[in-house]
């Protein structure tokens, strides 16, 4: 029987992933957990455990005693927050991964999902249609931690047969929960500000093109990868995954079709250098070939859904 633990469930991805997993496998099969003391309202339909992934012994005890056999490990500091606190970002992003990989190595976990990011690429990577296998010299602490994590995932698979699966998520766009401190957060913020103030001052320049994806696609991809037959999962570092790619100027133009008075201005900050080191678009042909990945949401659909659903009171 499946017993899934989602660690970092209170964040942008976790709060939607837990609901999707409960819908698919039943509420009893999915435990949400986070360092936050109280269960986020949206996750109240099932079990919640307050767990700090850095408390290795407590996490081990919980997983063993509750007979958890699958983990989705989402707890991490994202790119912009990590640059402000590099030591802690390295600690959080790496130590938690080892705790979970070791439990899988010891046979307690059958499968592990751990997300990587487009941040594994760097300024020397080809930026257009970035291939799965290419130069990878990340220049952020976040990117370095994700690249190291990918290497360790592949190592644990090769040496210890740990069934770990991973996706290099692009920037994720959603309206149920606010993003947690990334460089791609502008592509969520813009919708809140468009509805609330009719204007948005963007922290990236007009023509900064980045890969993006609607959350529903990202959640579906994660579950499809986890449910794919083991032999289909040929990449054990992390899969490139593509949804769409756009610039702040292009997304503002699409918003203008719905809100003609909306205005955007640009005040690039430290996040511009991060964005400039990342791909503009992604080649995800391996994910398409190995486990039949296909995105469903393009920019037009995303803009329409976001404008219809964001609650401007949240910001």
In whole angstroms, the minimum distance from the beta carbon of 161 to ligand SER comes to: 28
Q: Is 119 in the site for ligand SER (CB under 6 A)?
A: yes
Contacted entry of ligand NAD, ligand SER, none for residue 14, CB cut-off 5 to 8 Å set by kind: ligand NAD
Closest residue to ligand SER, Cβ-based?
Answer: 182
- Give residues 32-51 in contact with ligand NAD (rule: CB under 6 A): 34-36, 51
Collapsed DSSP state (helix, strand, coil) of residue 130: strand
Which position among 48, 72, 142, 175 bears the catalytic label? 142
Is residue 186 part of the annotated active site? The answer reads no
Task: Please spell the DSSP secondary structure of 200-228, one letter per residue.
Answer: EEESS-TT--EEEEEHHHHHHHHHHHHHS
> What are the backbone dihedrals phi and psi of residue 70, each rounded to the nearest 5 degrees, phi first?
-140, 140
Collapsed DSSP state (helix, strand, coil) of residue 113: strand
Task: Please spell the DSSP secondary structure of 173-197, one letter per residue.
Answer: E-SSS---S-GGGHHHHHHHHHHHT
Which of 43, 56, 38, 46 has the alpha carbon at shortest distance from 3? 46
Report the distance separating Cα 281 and Cα 101, nearest Å: 30
Q: Is 240 in the site for ligand SER (CB under 6 A)?
A: no
Q: Is 117 in the site for ligand SER (CB under 6 A)?
A: yes
Single out the segment in contact with ligand NAD by CB under 6 A; choices: 69-77, 101-109, 263-271, 278-286.
69-77
Q: 46, 143, 171, 248: which one contacts ligand NAD (CB under 6 A)?
A: 171
> Given the complex with ligand SER, which of 11 and 171 has the nearer CB atom?
171
Report the distance separating Cα 38 and Cα 10, nearest Å: 10
Single out the segment in contact with ligand SER by CB under 6 A; choices: 43-51, 113-121, 150-158, 222-230.
113-121
Single out the segment in contact with ligand SER by CB under 6 A; choices: 96-104, 120-128, 182-190, 300-308.
182-190
CB burial of 175-205 (b: ≥16 within 10 Å; e: otherwise) equals bebbbbbbbbbbbbbbbbbbbeeeebebbbe
Q: Which tokens is 153 given?
A: 């995932």
Q: 8, 182, 248, 279: which one contacts ligand SER (CB under 6 A)?
A: 182
Report the distance separating Cα 103 and Cα 126, nearest Å: 36
Report the distance separating Cα 255 and Cα 250, nearest Å: 9
The residues, ordered by sequence, that sit 6+ positions from 231 with a Cβ below 8 Å of its Cβ are none
Q: Is 31 in the site for ligand NAD (CB under 6 A)?
A: no
Q: 8, 10, 171, 279: which one contacts ligand SER (CB under 6 A)?
A: 171
Contact residues for ligand SER (CB under 6 A)? 78-79, 117-119, 142, 171, 182-184
**Active centre residues (catalytic):** 142
Contact residues for ligand NAD (CB under 6 A)? 7-8, 10-14, 34-36, 51-54, 74-76, 78, 92, 115, 117, 169, 171-172, 179-180, 182, 184
């Amino acid at each position: 029987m499946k017993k899934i633990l989602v660690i970092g469930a209170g964040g942008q991805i976790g709060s939607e992933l837990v609901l999707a997993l409960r819908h698919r496998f039943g509420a009893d099969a999915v435990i949400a957990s986070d360092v936050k003391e109280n269960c986020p309202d949206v996750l109240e339909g099932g079990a919640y455990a307050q767990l700090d992934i850095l408390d290795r012994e407590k996490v081990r005890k919980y997983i063993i005693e509750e007979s958890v056999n699958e983990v989705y490990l989402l707890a991490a500091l994202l790119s912009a927050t990590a640059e402000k606190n590099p030591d802690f970002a390295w600690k959080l992003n790496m130590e938690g991964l080892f705790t979970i990989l070791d439990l899988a190595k010891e046979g307690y976990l059958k499968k592990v999902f751990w997300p990587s990011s487009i941040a594994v690429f760097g300024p020397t990577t080809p930026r257009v249609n970035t291939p799965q296998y290419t130069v990878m010299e990340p220049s952020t602490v976040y990117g370095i931690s994700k690249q190291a994590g990918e290497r360790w995932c592949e190592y644990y698979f090769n040496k210890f047969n740990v069934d770990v699966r991973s996706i290099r998520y692009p920037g994720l766009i959603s309206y149920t929960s606010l993003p947690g401190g990334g460089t791609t957060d502008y592509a969520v913020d813009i919708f809140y500000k468009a509805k609330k103030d009719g204007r948005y001052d963007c922290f990236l320049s007009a023509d900064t093109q980045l890969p993006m994806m609607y959350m529903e696609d990202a959640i579906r991809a994660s579950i499809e990868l986890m449910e794919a037959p083991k032999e289909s999962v040929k990449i054990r570092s992390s899969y490139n995954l593509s949804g769409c790619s756009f610039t702040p100027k292009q997304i503002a133009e699409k918003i203008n079709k719905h809100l003609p008075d909306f205005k955007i201005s640009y005040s690039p900050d430290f996040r511009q250098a991060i964005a400039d080191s990342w791909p503009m678009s992604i080649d995800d042909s391996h994910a398409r070939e190995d486990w039949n990945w296909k995105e469903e949401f393009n920019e037009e659909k995303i803009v329409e859904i976001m404008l219809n659903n964001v609650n401007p009171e949240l910001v």
